[in-house]
Homo-oligomer: A and B are copies of this chain.
Amino acid sequence: MKNYIKTDEWSIIEEGFDPALNKISESIFSLGNGRMGQRANFEETYTGETLPGNYIAGVYYPDKTRVGWWKNGYPEYFAKVLNAANWIGINIRIDNETLDLNTCTVTNFRRVLNMREGILQRSFTGELKNGKQVQVNSLRFCSLADDEAGAIRYSIKALNFDGIISITPFIDGDVKNQDSNYDEKFWDEVQKETGHDTGFLTLKTKKTGFEVCTGMKVDLFLNGDKIKFISKSVEKKKYCGFDILVPVVINQTLEIYKYAANLSSENHPKEHLLKNCKNVIEKIALKGFDAMRKEQADAWAKKWEYGDIVIDGDVSAQQAIRFNIFQLNQTYTGQDARLNIGPKGFTGEKYGGSTYWDTEAYCVPFYLATADAQVTKNLLIYRYNHLAKAIENAAKLGFKNGAALYPMVTMNGEECHNEWEITFEEIHRNGAIAFAIFNYIRYTGDGAYLQEYGLEVLIAISRFWAQRITWSDNRRQYVMLGVTGPNEYENNVNNNWYTSKMANWCLGYTIEALSTVEKADSVIFKQLLSKVEFNYKEETNHWQNIIDHLYLPEDKEFGIFLQQDGYLDKEQTLVKDLAATDRPLNQKWSWDRILRSCYIKQADVLQGLYFFEDEFNIETLARNYNFYEPRTVHESSLSPCVHCILAAKLGHGDKAYEFYLRTARLDLDDYNNDTEDGCHITSMAGTWMSVVEGFAGMRIRNGTLTFSPFLPEKWISFAFNISFRGCVFNIKITRGSVIITNQSLTSAEVFVYNKCYDIGPNEMIEAPYGAPK
């Protein structure tokens, strides 16, 4: 846990340079625009500890799997997001000494991430070993308005000398992934060219053959006047740049404008990459830095208009929630159904930048409520497009007849994970993908999604469950053997309640969806069934039979759903009785000890109660919450949010707030000592959920927004915007009232504490705060 980030409502601020914190800051101050992103590395040379990171969405490398003991069925490779060409680089030499924060004396260092406008600023005074002092101000962004483009303004003022500043703007593609399994480099050079003020480098990924052309153009200003310059090209392997010498006198300021673009063969024909990149570079350089910066601010203003949360009375919480929303919007913009949300976004390499069930379980609710429906729809279509691969994946594991098992971790639809207890057994992910379809339709009302895409996915998933669930002669019931639930501190268990419940729900929802589509369009319905060779009667009968006879373990004595067979055979101790020296368990205990214990990593039974809350009464929720939460160590960043929401529902406001705090500043305060690897992007959606579904108690019921808010004691008020079926609502919760403004042109019904309010266009209602007794 660190505490060096200065609080501010709209900015993330670091003051003073501490090299030991640099990799953490590189993560926190990361930039992205959904198409590309980068860690907050320095433009100039830095020989201290750094994790260089530039990433291009959708461009990956299949790194050969590394395991100790191969298990049949393991994938051959792990698809990794690539550390791509560094396009921010500008080497600076002052009278032949390199400017390097690792070797010069640094004062007045300040790094600011302006979240309102999506801009990274940095300033410092450096004194080199040769005594020369410079004042540096840099400002850069990845353009949200033009997501192939980025720009930098880097200014150097000669504080105490006349001399030569030599600068080398460059693109360096000779980079590596830190997590390369066999210490390989993943890029080959295709082409490079250096002009007087431009450079273009095209690289191609090994094996996958993605090509990315990175271009740059440089303008120089001295004391505000554009200057001409002579440049000398510098070309090395996978590197292009040029040296420029600029004589300066004391107090003069040299400004370097570096315009850059990354174009990938995912969006351009390979043969036009270079040409198109040149066009983009020409266009943005012509547009100019200030115009680009204005576009950037405007684009971010729109994001905030939809998705902001305003907290009054707690600047630290305000900063934290905006940071979470900001990073989510940097990571995924929903314009491209081939892209998804890596657990670290563009802030690091870890977890390969691949897609997990985090997307469906945690991110979908965020994007549903803060963006156009198309954004979430693209997340769903991403899985639809991977259906054939999911069917292949299941076939590899012995499943037949078009059954689909979506991968635990994927880039292009193929499984990348290689731990048998996860890869093969943590199959509840299939359920989350079905649930996201349900959730999307529930939220948006876009029922047509079923016949367009959803039903096919649901059928394939249900076919999987129908084979994965087997009949036990012994129990005279269906059982689901050998699974790992969301609580990964149990492996290879039988009849995990969550997974079985999820499967059961999937089967039922698919039967319902079949009937919905049949009613909506019987021609399309028939085409669809014929496409997937669906034997309606036989398959749905079998599914119904499973629904009716699936074993869902319960314990009558405790009145709880049982996490899995045998859970109560464990020694029943509570987290509060664990010694501090034993925490976190995953660092202090051996794996078998964790597995044998009753301790729970993250919501498991409770995750099911969260998803299917309407099926259970409040007493059932309370019994299960009271049993499981005290056994839960919350050693996943995805755990607290679900508990926060349930605690809020159960009226445990303090506890809910406590859960909220656990993730709100997870990265800002480097809570788990791992922020240097990157930020926990997907868990940020959970923090958002904590506020909106937890504190504000937002739900969709029968196509209507409902709220049961509570206001954490420490706050004066909080407010947020919600995009719902074409309307935007602003909801503000104060100590006295719940104020809802309908910012759209149609009137809408909204429930507050189960009371219905009709809100006209651009009207506001004010409901009393607090649930009626």
Contact = CB atoms under 8 A, between A and B. Distances in A.
Nearest to A567: B474
A482 B419 contact: no
Contacts of A571: 470-472
A69 B474 CA distance: 36
Nearest to A569: B472
B565 A566 contact: yes
28 contacts: A66-B66, A66-B67, A69-B419, A71-B590, A71-B591, A72-B586, A72-B587, A72-B588, A72-B589, A73-B590, A73-B592, A73-B593, A420-B592, A421-B492, A424-B591, A425-B592, A470-B570, A470-B571, A472-B568, A474-B568, A474-B569, A481-B566, A481-B569, A481-B570, A482-B592, A482-B595, A492-B493, A494-B569
* Secondary structure type dominating chain A contacts: loop
Nearest to A491: B492
A594 B398 CA distance: 10
Contacts of A586: 72
Given A73-B590, A425-B592, A481-B566, 12 more contacts: A67-B68, A68-B68, A71-B591, A72-B591, A73-B593, A396-B590, A470-B596, A474-B568, A474-B569, A479-B569, A482-B592, A492-B493
A473 interface: yes
B592 A424 contact: yes
A334 to B, nearest CB: 31
A491 to B, nearest CB: 6
A492 B591 CA distance: 11
Interface in A308-350: none
Given A419-B69, A471-B571, A590-B424, A492 B494 contact: no
A492 B398 contact: no
- The 3 tightest CB contacts between A and B, nearest first, are A73-B590, A424-B592, A71-B591
Interface in A446-491: 470-475, 479, 481-482, 491
A563 to B, nearest CB: 13
B68 A418 contact: yes
A570 B494 CA distance: 10
A388 to B, nearest CB: 19
B494 A566 contact: yes
Nearest to A595: B482
Contacts of A396: 590
Interface string A386-414: 00000000001110000000000000000
A672 interface: no
A232 B122 CA distance: 69
A403 to B, nearest CB: 13
Interface of A: 65-69, 71-73, 396-398, 418-421, 424-425, 470-475, 479, 481-482, 491-494, 565-566, 568-572, 586-596
Copy count, this protein chain: 2
Nearest to A568: B474
A65 B67 CA distance: 10
A67 B586 CA distance: 17
Contact of A73 (B397, B565, B591): B591
Nearest to A585: B72
A155 B475 CA distance: 73
Given A475-B569, A569-B494, A591-B420, A596 B481 contact: yes
A586 B73 CA distance: 10
Contacts of A418: 68-69
Nearest to A73: B590
A68 B71 contact: no
A250 to B, nearest CB: 54
A185 to B, nearest CB: 17
Contacts of A481: 566, 569-570, 596
Contacts of A565: 565-566
Contacts of A71: 590-591
A703 to B, nearest CB: 40
Contacts of A493: 492
B398 A589 contact: yes
A162 B420 CA distance: 65
A68 B423 CA distance: 12
Contact of A590 (B69, B397, B474, B568): B397
Nearest to A582: B398
Nearest to A67: B68
Nearest to A594: B72
A565 to B, nearest CB: 6
Given A481-B569, A569-B472, A569-B494, A593 B398 contact: yes
Contacts of A572: 473
A482 to B, nearest CB: 4
A470 B397 CA distance: 35
Nearest to A398: B593
A571 B479 CA distance: 10
A758 to B, nearest CB: 53
A674 to B, nearest CB: 14
A295 B218 CA distance: 85
Contacts of A419: 68-69
Contacts of A482: 592, 595-596
A593 B474 CA distance: 20
Contacts of A66: 66-68
Contacts of A594: 72
